[in-house]
């Protein structure tokens, strides 16, 4: 059955033995048993198993157009509004299992590769572009339920507008340095790849801003391709105890720098290269934006519901619901939640067929949502901290509850609603979500994973149709 299982996913990734470095050491042995990865891999495995739950199969899978087998819904190229709704329901079903903390559940990249392949005809007839290879890869990924990560951004060396790397120097930003009958040779680095090293493949494509055509390409390679290395930051897993670290023990996704040391990308995996115009326009001409934002917002809705639940649970626990500012802060979350829900549905209702007969959710509506979330998510953290006050610091560990301190803790840390242990678990969750390394990384993730919010706002400004309204003002003034 093409829709994979958790066991197969874990075996596949272990068998790759990709070159992944944590804390200056390469991972030896099974990556699924490494402390930095075991929680998140287990959580991802559980997602794949959901595809085989008969009560969820209708949402999680659909029949492959190539075989009569069931494949994952996140690969579905929507042709009807029902397809779009089915995609959202599937995304939210997976998101529910981590309450939206897995920003890179596999449906994100499945969606991206589906969107790019759906727009493959854009590449047709263009120099050094190979649309059929992109479609082949999408079908291969779908039929084998591959897990993918990606890297779009060049290293943060010099972000001045007209900075160009010296072509005579050793490359820093990954570039094509050679080509031969087997493929292109890539050298340099890309940042960042969340989950780099625990996916089957790495997809690399240029999302714009390319000034040197050697830096512009799109391809996918196995994570264990010779010369490919993932350099991880330190792990933010606090520990294995779900009492102490309810989130990082399960959902720490890891981020890595990707280094290409003369990596051969075989021709059948090169989707385009050496074409400045395509490297700078494919991301916006393709359906990448509407579909990837539709996935992200659907997940963020689930995450926002969880934040609201957490805030209200804290309010109930220490009985602060009568205060107006607490009500106002909670309402801020409700307003954000209902706004996001409305926008995602609006994007589906206003979906239109693109020139390649794929039903795209309305892009401008989704762009609005993606401009909202980086701001409101940071505010959610602040609200949780403000309503928790010292509660977020009175959080003894699981060991403390198993020590002779237990009687003191039970007495002094009880709350209006909860016994001490329940109350501490609740506040540990609040702490981990907003103040731990895991939690602050979550904030940075929601701020930046979709790109620089400043550029997202600028993109919205330039692409939004404003002329009609200007005309109304002009006519009013006549």
Ligand X SMILES: Cc1cc2nc3c(=O)[nH]c(=O)nc-3n(C[C@H](O)[C@H](O)[C@H](O)COP(=O)(O)OP(=O)(O)OC[C@H]3O[C@@H](n4cnc5c(N)ncnc54)[C@H](O)[C@@H]3O)c2cc1C
Residues that bind ligand X (CB under 6 A): 150-153, 156, 159, 161, 192-194, 255, 441, 444-445, 448-449, 451-452, 454
The residue (of 79 and 375) whose beta carbon lies closer to ligand X is 375
Report in angstroms how near the CB of residue 444 gets to ligand X at its nearest: 4
The residue (of 113 and 315) whose beta carbon lies closer to ligand X is 113
The residue (of 77 and 154) whose beta carbon lies closer to ligand X is 154
Look up residue 278 and give its two tokens.
């395509």
Closest to 317 (Cα-Cα) out of 249, 239, 419 = 419
The residue (of 153 and 308) whose beta carbon lies closer to ligand X is 153
The residue (of 193 and 265) whose beta carbon lies closer to ligand X is 193
The residue (of 448 and 469) whose beta carbon lies closer to ligand X is 448
Radius of gyration of the chain from its Cα atoms, rounded to whole angstroms: 23
The residue (of 51 and 459) whose beta carbon lies closer to ligand X is 459
Report in angstroms how near the CB of residue 105 gets to ligand X at its nearest: 13
Report in angstroms how near the CB of residue 392 gets to ligand X at its nearest: 22
Report in angstroms how near the CB of residue 68 gets to ligand X at its nearest: 34
Report in angstroms how near the CB of residue 198 gets to ligand X at its nearest: 12
Q: How far apart are CA 279 and CA 170, in angstroms?
A: 22
Helix axes 81-98, 38-50, angle to 10 degrees: 140
Contact 101, 248 (CB under 8 A): no
Report in angstroms how near the CB of residue 236 gets to ligand X at its nearest: 10
The residue (of 59 and 95) whose beta carbon lies closer to ligand X is 95
The residue (of 258 and 358) whose beta carbon lies closer to ligand X is 258
Report in angstroms how near the CB of residue 284 gets to ligand X at its nearest: 15
The residue (of 60 and 289) whose beta carbon lies closer to ligand X is 289
Closest to 104 (Cα-Cα) out of 190, 203, 24, 16 = 203
Long-range contacts made by residues 35-38, C-beta under 8 angstroms, separation at least 24? 35/235, 35/237, 35/240, 36/232, 36/235, 36/237, 36/252, 36/254, 37/197, 37/198, 37/254
The residue (of 401 and 449) whose beta carbon lies closer to ligand X is 449
Report in angstroms how near the CB of residue 145 gets to ligand X at its nearest: 20
Report in angstroms how near the CB of residue 275 gets to ligand X at its nearest: 20
Report in angstroms how near the CB of residue 47 gets to ligand X at its nearest: 18
Report in angstroms how near the CB of residue 165 gets to ligand X at its nearest: 15
Report in angstroms how near the CB of residue 471 gets to ligand X at its nearest: 30
Closest to 41 (Cα-Cα) out of 250, 318, 332 = 250
The residue (of 25 and 159) whose beta carbon lies closer to ligand X is 159
Half-sphere exposure (Cβ direction) of 216: Cα atoms closer than 13 Å: 22
């Amino acid at each position: 059955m093409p829709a994979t299982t958790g066991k197969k996913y874990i075996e596949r990734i272990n068998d790759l033995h990709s070159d992944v470095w944590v804390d200056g050491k390469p991972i030896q042995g099974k990556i699924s048993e490494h402390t930095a990865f075991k929680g998140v891999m287990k959580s991802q495995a559980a997602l794949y198993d959901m595809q085989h739950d008969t009560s969820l199969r209708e949402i999680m899978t659909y029949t492959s157009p190539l075989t009569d087998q069931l494949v994952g819904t996140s690969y579905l190229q929507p042709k009807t509004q029902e397809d779009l709704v089915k995609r959202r329901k599937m995304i939210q079903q997976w998101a529910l299992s981590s309450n939206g903390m897995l920003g890179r559940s596999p449906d994100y990249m499945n969606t991206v590769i589906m969107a790019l392949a759906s727009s493959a005809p854009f590449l047709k007839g263009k120099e050094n572009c190979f649309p059929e290879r992109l479609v082949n890869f999408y079908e291969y990924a779908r039929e084998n339920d591959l897990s993918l990560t990606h890297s779009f951004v060049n290293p943060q060396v010099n972000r001045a507008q007209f900075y160009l790397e010296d072509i005579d120097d050793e490359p820093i930003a990954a570039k094509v340095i050679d080509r031969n009958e087997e493929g292109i040779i890539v050298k340099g680095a890309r940042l960042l790849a969340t989950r780099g090293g625990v996916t089957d493949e790495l997809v690399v494509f240029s999302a714009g801003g390319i000034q040197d055509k050697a830096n512009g390409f799109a391809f996918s390679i196995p994570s264990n391709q010779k010369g490919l290395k993932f350099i991880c930051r330190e792990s933010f897993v606090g520990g294995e105890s779900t009492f102490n670290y309810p989130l990082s023990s399960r959902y720490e996704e890891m981020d890595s720098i990707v280094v290409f040391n003369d990596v051969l990308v075989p021709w059948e995996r090169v989707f385009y290269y050496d074409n400045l115009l395509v490297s700078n326009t494919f991301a916006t001409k393709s359906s990448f934006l509407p579909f990837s934002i539709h996935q992200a917002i659907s997940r963020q809705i689930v995450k926002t519901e969880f934040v609201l639940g957490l805030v209200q649970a804290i309010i109930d626990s220490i009985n602060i619901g009568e205060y107006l500012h607490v009500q106002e802060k909670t309402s801020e979350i409700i307003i954000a939640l209902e706004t996001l829900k409305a926008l995602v549905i609006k994007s589906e209702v206003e979906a239109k067929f693109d020139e390649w007969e794929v039903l795209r959710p309305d892009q401008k509506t989704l762009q609005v949502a993606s401009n909202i979330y980086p701001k409101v998510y940071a505010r959610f953290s602040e609200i949780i901290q403000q309503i928790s006050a010292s509660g977020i610091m009175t959080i003894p560990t699981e060991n403390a509850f198993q020590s002779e301190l237990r009687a003191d803790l039970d007495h002094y840390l009880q709350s209006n609603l909860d016994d001490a242990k329940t109350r501490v678990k609740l506040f540990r969750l609040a702490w981990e979500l907003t103040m731990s390394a895991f939690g602050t990384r979550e904030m940075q993730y929601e701020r930046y994973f979709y790109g620089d919010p400043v550029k997202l706002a600028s993109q919205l400004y330039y692409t939004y149709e404003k002329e009609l309204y200007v005309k109304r003002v002009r006519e009013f003034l006549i």
